[in-house]
Amino acid sequence: MNYFSSDFKLGILGGGQLGKMLLNDTRKFDIYTCVLDASNEAPCKIASNEFHLGDLMDYDAVYNFGKQVDVLTYEIENVNTNALEALEKAGVKVYPSSKTLKTIQNKAKQKLFYVDHNLPTAPFSRFAYTSEIEDALNHGGLSLPFVWKSTQFGYDGTGVKIVKSVADLDGLPNVECIAETLVPFKNELAVIVARNVSGETKTFPVVEMEFHPEANQVEYVICPARIPDAIAKKAIDVALKTSEAFNHVGLLAVEMFLTQDDTILINEVAPRPHNSGHQTIEASYTSQFEQHLRAILNLPLGRTDSKVGGVMVNLVGAEGFSGNVVYQNIDAIMNLNGVTPHIYGKKQTRPFRKMGHVTIVNEDLNEARKVAEQVKKTIKVISE
């Protein structure tokens, strides 16, 4: 198949920042792209060959869009999987597959998948409704503390809450959910696995994530993770086993906990380019976005090792600001060594909304981490 400067059409469901970064590489390769998103302001609008407006959860919108392309991929999980299944039957190549996405979309199904495939994960209970949890606590079927997660539509700190007392259940939506044992972990790690249609597999180096205490969002992604080689190998083995179980095509980001006794437990996975791989644009031989394209188009996978140490800082909307975005002090951070800002093109900011990221590269990872902290303190995402 000739993908380059040809009639081939790649469809992308979702027009957010991940799609925008993917389009940098489709433009590099001159691959014709069509994007579907519900917002006319989507970051992808300016960089795709064709931009279509439509709801990603709407069967007809997804099906009719998918019929016009040769290969379909997605940059967000909230997509109508029945439409994807119908498109596969109609001969459209969908990567990762509808089957993979169906399992991952629902956190309870995802957790059961790990159990069924002997993949290590924290113990959990499944509830049809949040309101059933209090009964389970009263009758000893569940004990505090635990992590409440809605099974669907949770991302970036929404749909997740640490429950330490019964009062913490107040105000949670009454939806299908899981209650997961609170893992006293030392570290949160992630490994991105790329797998192409032929089954060739490569992993990026293990990264370590430092979280914001309140927002439940990643503040820093550090590559490589500051862990012993033996633990890194263990994390990569778990990621490869997970990829094999899903038999996925494309990227699979495997987020994990490293417990106090050095056990690796899978937290959750994402079947797409991921926040834990943004530093690959500047720090690696092949970025996660180029690798995703290589995988879904069944091209040979690129080198995954890092050229330099990399730290990624998320740029999120400052608290107390909503409206037309203003980025303060970008020139000041660009004055620092090895700093590259990525601005996603969202015109409206609100507290904790992901507006961009900054990558800091340095031969010395500790130095990169120090600069990252300076970046974090200097740049402000506010409104007019």
pLDDT tens string 81-101 = 999 999 999 999 999 999 999
Alpha-carbon span 264 to 195, nearest angstrom: 22
> Is 182 assigned a ligand-binding role in the annotation?
yes
In what side-by-side order are the strands of the sheet with 323-328? 348-349, 323-328, 380-383
Same domain, 77 and 29: yes
Same domain, 175 and 203: no
Residue 342 lies in a domain: yes
pLDDT at 109 over 80: yes
Average pLDDT over residues 302-322: 97
Residue 155 lies in a domain: yes
| CATH classification at residue 331 | 3.30.470.20
> Is 242 assigned a ligand-binding role in the annotation?
no
Alpha-carbon span 192 to 304, nearest angstrom: 10
Mean pLDDT, all residues of the chain: 95
> Is 181 assigned a ligand-binding role in the annotation?
yes
Average pLDDT over residues 186-199: 97
CB–CB of 179/160 below 8 Å? no
> Is 112 assigned a ligand-binding role in the annotation?
no
Same domain, 39 and 157: no
Residue 3 lies in a domain: no
Lowest mean pLDDT across 94-103, 138-147, 233-242 = 138-147
Total domain count for the chain? 3
> Is 188 assigned a ligand-binding role in the annotation?
yes
CB–CB of 184/172 below 8 Å? no
Same domain, 248 and 331: yes
Alpha-carbon span 288 to 279, nearest angstrom: 9
Q: Residue 218 has what pLDDT?
A: 80
Average pLDDT over residues 277-287: 98
Give the residue from 181, 201, 227 where a domain finishes: 181
Same domain, 253 and 232: yes
Residue 106 lies in a domain: no
Q: Residue 149 has what pLDDT?
A: 95
Structure confidence at residue 140 as a pLDDT band (50, 70, 90): confident
Same domain, 152 and 208: no
- The 10 Å CB-count burial string (b at 16+, else e) for 77-102 is bebbbebbbbbbeeebbbbbbbbbbe
Residue 232 lies in a domain: yes
Residue 100 lies in a domain: no
Q: Residue 375 has what pLDDT?
A: 97
> Is 244 assigned a ligand-binding role in the annotation?
no
Alpha-carbon span 192 to 253, nearest angstrom: 4
Q: Residue 176 has what pLDDT?
A: 95
Same domain, 227 and 174: no
pLDDT at 156 over 70: no
Give the residue from 166, 181, 196 where a domain finishes: 181
Structure confidence at residue 215 as a pLDDT band (50, 70, 90): low
Checking phi first, is residue 323 left (phi over 0); if not, alpha (psi -120 to 50) or beta?
Answer: left
Q: Residue 23 has what pLDDT?
A: 98
Average pLDDT over residues 306-311: 97
pLDDT at 229 over 70: yes
Same domain, 262 and 340: yes
Same domain, 242 and 150: no
CB–CB of 326/346 below 8 Å? no
pLDDT at 38 over 80: yes
Q: What's the one-letter identity of residue 293?
A: L
Instruction: Name every residue whose Cβ is closer than 8 Å to that of residue 4 and which is 6 or more positions away in sequence.
Output: 29, 30, 31
Residue 320 lies in a domain: yes
Q: Residue 77 has what pLDDT?
A: 94
| CATH classification at residue 47 | 3.40.50.20
Same domain, 161 and 205: no
Same domain, 157 and 204: no
> Is 268 assigned a ligand-binding role in the annotation?
yes
Relative orientation angle of helices 81-89 and 98-105, to the nearest 10 degrees? 170
Structure confidence at residue 11 as a pLDDT band (50, 70, 90): very high
pLDDT at 210 over 90: no
Same domain, 267 and 348: yes
Residue 300 lies in a domain: yes
Q: Which residue has the tokens 């094999």?
A: 244
| CATH classification at residue 171 | 3.30.1490.20
Instruction: Name every residue whose Cβ is closer than 8 Å to that of residue 269 and which is 6 or more positions away in sequence.
Output: 104, 110, 242, 246, 252, 253, 254, 255
Give the residue from 181, 210, 229 where a domain finishes: 181
Beta bridge partners of 148: 161, 179
Q: Residue 158 has what pLDDT?
A: 72
pLDDT at 167 over 70: yes
Q: Residue 157 has what pLDDT?
A: 62
Per-residue pLDDT tens for 72-82? 999 999 999 99
- Other Cβ atoms less than 10 A from the Cβ of 366: the count is 12
pLDDT at 348 over 70: yes
Domain holding 155, by residue range, is 123-181
pLDDT at 147 over 90: yes
Beta bridge partners of 256: 189, 266
